[in-house]
Structures are given as structure tokens and as C-alpha cells.
Amino acid sequence: MANITKKVSWSSRADESGAAGEGTPLLNGSEQPRHSRQPSEGGSLCQIGRLSTVDLEEEITSDEESQRGRPKEIPHNEKLLSLKYESLDYDNIENQLFLEEERKMSYMGFRCLEISRWVVCGLIGFLTGLIACFIDIVVEQLAGIKYQVVKENIEKFTEVGGLSISLLLWAVLNSAIVMLGAIIVAFFEPIAAGSGIPQIKCYLNGIKIPRVVRLKTLVVKVGGVICSVVGGLAVGKEGPMIHSGAVVAAGVSQGRSTSLKRDFKIFEYFRRDTEKRDFVSAGAAAGVSAAFGAPVGGVLFSLEEGASFWNQMLTWRIFFASMISTFTLNFFLSIYHNKPGELSNPGLINFGRFQGDSVAYNLYEIPLFIAMGAIGGLLGALFNVLNYWLTIFRIRYVHRPCLQVMEAMLVAAVTATVSFTMIYFSNDCQPLGPEHTEEYPLQLFCADGEYNSMATAFFNTPERSVRSLFHNQPGTYNPLTLGLFTLTYFFLACWTYGLAVSAGVFIPSLLIGAAWGRLCGILLATITPDGSIWADPGKYALIGAAAQLGGIVRMTLSLTVIMVEATGNVTYGLPIMLVLMTAKIVGDYFVEGLYDIHIKLQSVPFLHWEAPATSHWLTAREVMSSPVTCLNRIEKVGTIVDTLSNTSTNHNGFPVVVKVSGSDEPPKLCGLILRSQLIVLLKHKVFVELARSRLTQRKLQLKDFRDAYPRFPPIQSIHVSQDERECMMDLTEFMNATPYTVPQETSLPRVFKLFRALGLRHLVVVDDENRVVGLVTRKDLARYHLGKHGLEELQLAQT
């Protein structure tokens, strides 16, 4: 089998390279055990160093086949669980090398490590802030040019009467820019599509999503998001910041770039999944913080999505990164706006300040807020259902990159056309105030000194539109404008999410919600006699925005804090929380959150917080994969190579067992070793000529493992001669001698809790005599979920 590099189609693009890649975790197969050693009671089926093949999916497309032709229908399905995703190793591999290093390290050594962690977090925050700043400035400049050009064109043709030319200009400009963004995404790095939040959620959940934290992804992401926002799509630039922050974190913390082939020889200690995942949490938080000016919200986002075990020092570092990030953004934007040192731009989106008495709320408004939350939940569910169907459609029919680019261009053109039509037919003219807060007021057919109100909503970057919906004086919009705007923007945003462009759904959601929220406020003011006193439309716009966003993404705690921080006013804490909770409860009744839908459609083995409530009747015995391919502590090289090369069972973790010498007893568990470790051992030819002789053994350092991390070579690239196949390998020093184990009778919730709390990758199931009977991995736990008819089991599939 050739050295296949893995590709993952996170966007709606098909996976071209086929099913199983070099590191694909497969189900532990279940060939008839060769050394069938059936002990009296436990049913311990432990194959020693033998190959096993998958019998579960006989009809599976073999690697060669999938390389030749594209599968006819991409089997994305929310009832499947893909086997191609690996877990991260959040549990430290405590082998002898690691313990020796730790024991050698002095207290000062640990202090230095701790300090360098803080330095890395500071760097992460700083770079994330810089990237946010760069995106913001570039978008503002380019969008400014675009809107100026179109505006001048429209003004030129308003009198003359050739507005269709303006429309054409607008549509072509948008399409061209979006095309650029879609091309780099679809052809160069499909994983950079979308907001990246589902991917980061998965990463923080402990799933290794290939290519998600690479430099190339970051570059494409930044370029893509600029193009899609400037291209006038119904998208925001906030979501992608989270992904960008995560990539920055993964890059900085490793002290090298594999893509650029530069190794700075620093932070080598951090080259393992445990540390990297912690830093990625910090990066994601820094991204949220830069996007919304919400450092605490960022920390809570990271925790809500990622944390298994809450660690105080880690949380502080995350908080530090967040703070630095928002501060950096703030500082550089203040320079850009020629007010150096005045720190008033904490995030990419700024809701403006809600201050003064007009925004206070009263007790009797609470039920209104809750009702709005329910509306948000309903609309959010509708949005999600529509987007779900659309995504299914895209997976089936729009999986070629060129089709994806064309669809993106189409959406861009349609967006421009619809916007133009709405503006054209709107006759909502508003007087242009003396201070006129609108950046690009379009006069069109309005009288002099007036501007078209619909254009404020459409002919603007979405961030500005949100702000004007929040803060413009009562009476700036008439209800019809708002209603039409909500309707069109709702469908545009729904169509846009899932395109092969880098873009987020936060701002469009906020915009839709702000529009209908403001509409609610206006209606309330008209139906109540003295309503104008308390029904400030801006306040209702804010509540509507929260409701809509909550209805779509279904976050509560972190979103509350993000919204509170973005408004800069804690008074709204309670109503926003109530609204988000209502939206979540109502929305969850119909369909899951948008991110969860997309995660499920990718068949990712995502672990929730707890095992399904009604799963107490399942035990580890039923859940585990068995029989397990075990290795002897001193194992023949040939056996190891064969085990690793077995493409049908690509296992990633192997329990190591030991036989009491001279005894007839079955072998006992004595450790756990990973595929990646074995690969490094093979590569460095850590063989002993004869069993039990340690003389010729080359001493490997932890450094060798760290250097290979995270892109371990595939087994096919390692040449082992026939002579070497006869040598032995002593795994004692390299295996994790104290893997976590559970007895067979352990209930699923208990197994789940242990697995989730410690972020494990493999959990060995043993019998009374400490013999291996099975192995629990992520997919074994993730496949149970609560469906409509109680506990359901997902099917496992290779894709």
C-alpha cells in the first residue's frame, strides 16, 4: 500500500483520497482468535501479536478502489460514526523515559516550564490580536473601496436611469471577490471552510481533526474570510477568529513549523497532545476574546467546549491569553483610528455602549423577553432545519471544488441582486441627521437630505448594520423595512452557511435577530399608549439578536457572557440569560444546534458531557471492542511490523502483556503502547539481537519521540529487512506501564466519566485476574446516544 496522505472533508467536499489513511483508527477486528486461550470465567480473548481483520464491514471499499474512483454517494449520515477520526492523547504517556525526565527535573525546571507556558500564552494572545486587527483593517479598507465605487455608480445612474448597470457592477464585484475566497478554500484547504467552530469544538473535545491547526489552514482562513466579508456575503468575520486563534496556539506552542520546516528548538517539552490541547484552548479563547472583546466569554467558551478537568492554573493562562488578545487588538486599532492609547475597541464587533436610563428594563418586560426567546428558538430551529437539508444536498451533489466555487459565486450574486432589489423598491426615506452615523448613505429616490433606510441595513458591512439597529434613534426604520429585511436576510444567511468560504454565522444571526427584535420593539411601542417610554427599540433589537443567535448556536453560559461583555453593560445579564435559555429549550425541542448538526453530519465521534441517562444497563463488557490485539513485552519485530501494516485493522493502541515465565497462566496486562511510539522505535531500529539481551539496544530519548510529533511517518515508509524481522524489541521502557483499567462489570456511565474526565484515548478492560479482555475507545462510547425512541446505537463506518 502506498503512503497515503489523509484528507478530510470537513467542508461539504468529498474525501478524495479514500477511506483509511495512515493513522486511521479502525475497530479492533474480530477474526477467530488464533491462540484461543479461553479461560474459565472471564472470556479473556487476547490475541498475542497476531493480525486481526475487520469482519464488521465486509463491503467496505478497499484503499485502491477508493483511490481510483470517487465513491458514488458520500456516506455522510448523522446515524453513522466515522472511524477515520482519532482521539488526542490527553492522558500523559507515563513511560520510563518520561518519568526519568520528570524525576531529573528540579523545582526550578518546573518553574521555568510554567513561566514558558505563560510566555506562550502571551504570544498566542498577541498574535491572535494582531491577526484580528489585520483582518479588521483590510476588510474595512477593501469594503470601503467597494461600497464607495458602487455608491458613486448608483448615484451616477439614479438620475440617468440605468440602475441595472449598477446592479451588474455590484453583483460582479461581489462574485469576483467571493470567487477568489472560494477558490483558495475549495482547492487549497477545504478544512478552512465555514467558521471553524465545529472543528475547534471537536478538537477541544479530544478529536484529532487532520490539518485543522496547520499554518496553511490559517493563511487560507484569513484570506478567505477577508474575501467573503468584502464580497458582501451574509457572513461575519468573528467565528473564523476562533479557528485562527487555535491555529496560532498550536503553532506557537510547538516552537517550530512543520510546514515551513523550521525548528526553533524551543518549547520542546510541549510537543505532545496534552500540552498542545491546553494551548489550543487558550488560542480559541483568545480568538473569541478578539472577536467580541469578551475575554471572560472566551474563557467560558473554551471551558464549555473543551475542558474535561478544570485546572485553575490552566484557566488563568487561558484568561491571560484572552486579555492580551483583546488588549492587542484594542491597542493597534486605536493607533489605526489615530487615537493611540485610547482603548475603546475591545473586539472586532462592537455593540456600542448601552448606557443611561433609557436602556433599563422593568420587571414586566421579562415575560416579553422570554417570549422573544421562544421566537428566537423557533426561528433558529427553522434556520437549522433548512441548513441541514441544504447541507445534505451539498454533500450529495455539490462536492466538486469547482461546483463549490460556482455555488459561492452564485450566492454572492444573488445576495447583491436581492439587496439591490430591496433597496430599489423600498421607499423608507429617513432624514439624514447632522452627525449622520451612516457610513455610506444612499439617497436613491429619496428627497435631498434624506437617505434610504433599507440601504443602511443592506449596503453596509453586517457589523455596522447590527450597530445601527441597536443604537439608531427610534423611528429610523419603519416596520415594513425591518420585516422584509429579516425575511430576506434569514434565507440568505441560511443559504450562505456551509458554502466553501471561510465565514462565520454569528453576525448574520445577530443581524436577523436585531432586525426582528427592533420590529418587536416598534410594534410594542405602537400598541401601548405610553409605550415609547419603555419600549426603546434598540433594547429589543439586542434581545432579539441574543434570541436569534441562541436559537441557532444554542450556547448559553458563554454566549451570555459574550453578549454582556460586547454590550459593556452587566444590567442585561439576566434578560440575556433568560432569553438564551428559552431559545435553547424551545430550539432543542425541534432540532440540535447548528454546530452540532454539522458535527453529526461529519459522523465525528463527539463525546458529550455525560453518558446518556438511560445507559446504566450497559457495562464495559458490552461496550468494549474485543478481542484486542496485544503485544508481548518483548516482541518479535516482524510481528510488530505485520500488526502495524495490517491496513484493515489500523489499531492505534496495543495493550502490552507479560507471561509469567514457566507458568501456564494466561498473560497479564503490564502496559499500553501506541502505534506512534512503535513507529519511532522501528524507525530508530531499537532492536535486541536476541531476546533478553539488552546490550545492543540503542538508547532512545524522549526527544526522538518529540521530534517525530505530531506527523509520525506511516509504517510503509519504514524499511525493515528480513533479518531485522527476526530481532526482538523490548517495549518495557517505552510503554505506559500504568494504563487506566476498568473491570468488565463497570457501567457505561462510569466508564464514560473516567474516559471523559481524564481525556483518555484507550481504556483497557480487564477481568478479575488482570487479563486484557477488551479495549474501550472513543467510538465505543460515542456511538450510544439518546434518540427519540430511547437509547440508540450509531453504526460505525469507515468514512
**Considering just the CA atoms, what is the radius of gyration of the chain in Å?**
29
Nearer to its own copies, 458 or 705 (CB): 705
CB 647 within 8 A of CB 625: no
Residue 308 near residue 758, CB atoms below 8 Å: yes
Residue choice 450, 478, 740, 783 for contact with its own copies (CB under 8 A): 740
Cα–Cα distance measured from residue 392 to residue 30, given in angstroms and rounded to the nearest whole number: 33
Cβ contacts of residue 623 below 8 Å, gap of 6+?
Answer: 748, 751, 776, 780, 781, 784
Which residues within the stretch 336-355 sit at the binding site for its own copies (CB under 8 A)? Answer: 340-344, 346, 355
The amino acid at 606: F
DSSP code string of 580-629: HHHHHHHHHHH---HHHHHHHHTT-----SS--TT-TT-BHHHHSB-SEE
Q: Is 661 in the site for its own copies (CB under 8 A)?
A: no
User: Residue 292 contacts by C-beta under 8 Å, 6 or more apart in sequence?
Assistant: 238, 298, 347, 348, 349, 562, 565, 566
Considering the complex, state which of residue 616 and residue 711 has its C-beta at the smaller distance from its own copies.
Answer: 616
Binding mask 239-278 for its own copies (x = CB under 8 A): ----------------------------------------
In angstroms, what CA-CA distances link 697 with 9, 357, 676, 704?
Answer: 42, 77, 19, 15
Nearer to its own copies, 20 or 604 (CB): 604
Q: Which is nearer to its own copies, 477 or 540 (CB)?
A: 540
Among candidate residues 318, 325, 263, the one with its CA nearest the CA of residue 293 = 325
Residues 97-126 within binding reach of its own copies (CB under 8 A): 99, 102-103, 105-107, 110
Taking the least distance from each CB to its own copies, the nearer of 341 and 529 is 341
Count of other CB atoms within 10 angstroms of residue 34: 12
HEC assignment per residue over 396-453: HHCCCHHHHHHHHHHHHHHHHHHHHHHHHHCCCEEECCCCCCCCCCCCCCCCCCEEEH
Nearer to its own copies (CB atom), residue 190 or residue 347: 347
Shortest Å, Cβ 617 to its own copies: 5
Phi, psi of 773 (to 5 degrees): -115, -15
Q: Is 205 in the site for its own copies (CB under 8 A)?
A: no
Phi, then psi, of 657 in degrees rounded to 5: -120, 160
Minimum CB–partner distance for residue 608 and its own copies (Å): 8
Cell of 504: 462565520
Omega of the bond leading into 71 within 30 degrees of 0 (cis): no
CB of 661 or CB of 722, closer to its own copies: 661
Q: Which stretch binds its own copies (CB under 8 A): 119-127, 253-261, 308-316, 542-550?
A: 308-316
Residue from 674, 675, 792, 788 nearest 739 by CA? 674
Binding its own copies (rule: CB under 8 A), the pick from 320, 369, 440, 489 is 320
Nearer to its own copies, 15 or 278 (CB): 278
In the bound state with its own copies, the residue whose beta carbon lies nearer, of 491 and 740, is: 740
Which residues within the stretch 605-644 sit at the binding site for its own copies (CB under 8 A)? Answer: 609-610, 613-614, 616-617
Closer to its own copies by Cβ: residue 28 or 615: 615
131 binds its own copies (CB under 8 A): no
CB 195, min distance to its own copies, A: 20
Candidate list 364, 530, 699, 722; residue touching its own copies; CB under 8 A: 364
Closest CA to 706 of 129, 127, 276, 359: 276
Binding mask 428-467 for its own copies (x = CB under 8 A): ----------------------------------------
Of residues 365 through 404, those in contact with its own copies by CB under 8 A are: none
> Please, which of residues 539-598 interact with its own copies by CB under 8 A?
556-557, 560-561, 564-565, 568-571, 573-574, 577-578, 581
Q: Which is nearer to its own copies, 301 or 477 (CB)?
A: 301
Question: Per-residue contact track with its own copies, 276 to 295, x per CB under 8 A?
Answer: -----------------x-x
CB count, 10 Å around CB of 662? 6
Write out the E strands in 34-85: 46-48, 80-82
Task: Give a three-class secondary structure readout of 539-568.
Answer: HHHHHHHHHHHHHHHCCCHHHHHHHHHHHC
How would you classify the pairing of strands 653-658 and 628-632? Answer: parallel
- Pick from 668, 684, 706, 783: which binds its own copies (CB under 8 A)? 668
| Interacting span for its own copies (CB under 8 A) from 56-64, 166-174, 753-761, 776-784 | 753-761
- Candidates 738, 792, 793, 795; binder of its own copies (CB under 8 A) is 738
Q: Which of residues 9-38 bind its own copies (CB under 8 A)?
A: none
Q: Which residues inside 766-795 make contact with its own copies, applying CB under 8 A?
A: 766, 768-770, 786, 790
